[in-house]
Chains A and B, each alone.
Chain A
Amino acid sequence: MATHFIEPLAGRDAGASSLPRFLAGEASARPLAALRIGLAAVLLAQAFALAPHLFLFFGEHGIVQAPIANALVSASVPRVTYVVALLAPYVRDERLVLLGCFALYVAALHLLLAGWKTRAVAIAAWLLHLGLKTTANPSAYGVFEFATIGLFYCAAFPSGAAWSVDAGSSKHESTSFEANLGLRVLQIHLCIVYLFSGIEKLRGEQWRNGEAIWRAVMRPGFAMFDLSWLAAYPFLPLLACWGTMAIELGYVLLVWPRRMRHLWVLATIGMHAGIGVVLGLWSFSAVMIVLNAAAFLVTPTRSPTSRTRPPAARG
């Protein structure tokens, strides 16, 4: 029986058992699979875009040299320089080690996309991504942080239990407690993201008077189009600022009722698409769109009475 996930909270089942069912029910892994596939695809595109400049950002003698980059991050977090040190007796050229790590990362992303040995490759992709991000941490911006979060969820939860080589062509779509919990954690995490982002913006005078959008589109590094004409129509940036804050602050409440969910998630996706087009932050926007779509647009199959799952479909 396929039902919409919000029912336990807002529908006919509302009552004493709602919260336990919300958290402890069972669901298929479709949303997690969407996260896995979307995230892997975006990160592959990003990896190919950065590959020609690998040594510039990730190399020991890149723009920010390793001793400086390493000093900015806790020593407990993995990085390529650790692998270089480990392999020093065998490989003298650190660039070969970096190339090897990057090749492994790209290979792991391909396998994650396909969902082959999903749990193992998700862990590999997560740790390799973390290592590369830490190595180039002075250049790591928002997309790297959300990729870390997404890959961790792919590794922690059964993201390979649907739409994957692991799940195969089984006609019986499995449901599991872990898949439901993974979806809930992702959903709540996104609510935290937008709530805090909205509150931070509301605190800023630039967001309240419309100057934030103006300043963002005028930054030469981000400007994809000449939008200086906006100065003649200040109500447009003002509207965009308050619209952004409304979407972010409203997310935590309005993404749950079934009637508002699609509208709100589509508005949020539209906001990120706008950021991608206008500011050129395409990879960041794409990751955020994947997270939103996986969390709220991909409806999981639910089987409240089912307590079993075929072994082949476990991720």
Chain B
Amino acid sequence: MTSGGRKRMAWLAAAGVHLALVICGAAGITPVSTKLAGGRVVETYRAYTGANNGYGFFAPGVASEWRATFDVCSDERHCIPVAREQVGHEARLLLITIDGLLGEDELRDLIAASHAARQFARYPHAEVVLVKAGVFEVPAMAEYRGGERPQWRDLYGYAFHRAAGRP
């Protein structure tokens, strides 16, 4: 085989391996255990190339939309609701994606704390920030025809206090 032929075979083999990794990503399979050094190399390659992606757009079901709302308080009895940052359309999609993490049990506390830190920075005089995580409940079409309407429902609430002596 000529060197050109060998080069082509190498390209074809690399493309085959890459597409096999794409299939693994789509199927939610980790091809090599990350406990092995080789597995970590493969995972890094998958992360760099996007071969680790799943493709279940809105599937198997469309998740409910989550949102975070905030009250800032100068003390325990004086709280006011505050609006979020005003952003454009594309940025709003990013905000929705962040709020979607409130639906994940293992991340909810972290995201709520992160939101609170942001509000403390926006309102330097706030002593307490209340973060409410709510979900938008959409009735089924038949229920909607029966008179039910979509609504926000707060499911989780957090009260974050400014640490003493911290700006």
Contacts and interface: CB of A to CB of B under 8 A. Distances in A.
A219 B96 CA distance: 11
B73 to A, nearest CB: 20
Contact of A192 (B26, B96, B111): B26
Interface in A144-170: 145-146, 148-149, 152
Nearest to B114: A64
A189 B159 CA distance: 46
24 contacts: A23-B12, A49-B90, A52-B88, A53-B91, A61-B121, A72-B107, A77-B44, A77-B48, A139-B97, A177-B11, A181-B12, A194-B55, A197-B56, A206-B60, A207-B60, A211-B62, A211-B140, A211-B141, A212-B58, A214-B140, A219-B64, A221-B65, A222-B96, A231-B144
A57 B68 CA distance: 16
A3 interface: no
B8 A177 contact: yes
Nearest to B61: A206
B123 interface: no
B126 interface: no
B8 A141 contact: no
Contact of B92 (A73, A145, A203, A221): A221
Given A52-B88, A68-B114, A231-B141, A193 B50 contact: no
B94 interface: yes
B26 A49 contact: no
Contacts of A206: 60-62
Would you call the interface of chain A mostly helix, strand, loop, or mixed?
Answer: helix
B40 A63 contact: no
B56 A148 contact: no
B26 A196 contact: yes
B150 interface: yes
B118 A62 contact: yes
B65 A220 contact: yes
A56 interface: yes
A130 interface: yes
Contacts of B54: 196
Contacts of B95: 63, 139
B64 to A, nearest CB: 8
A200 interface: yes
Nearest to A219: B65
B91 A212 contact: no
Interface of A: 23-24, 46, 49-50, 52-53, 56-57, 61-65, 68, 72-74, 76-77, 130, 136, 138-142, 145-146, 148-149, 152, 177-178, 181, 184-185, 188-189, 192-197, 200-201, 203-207, 210-212, 214-216, 218-222, 228, 230-232, 234, 237, 280-283
Interface of B: 8, 11-12, 15, 18-19, 22-23, 26-27, 40, 43-44, 47-51, 53-62, 64-65, 85, 87-98, 101, 107, 110-111, 113-115, 117-118, 121, 136, 138, 140-142, 144-145, 150
Nearest to B12: A23
A46 B166 CA distance: 37
A58 to B, nearest CB: 10
Contacts of B62: 206, 211-212, 215-216, 219
Contact of A148 (B23, B50, B142): B50
A207 B59 contact: yes
A63 B98 CA distance: 9
Contacts of B89: 49, 280, 282
A113 to B, nearest CB: 19
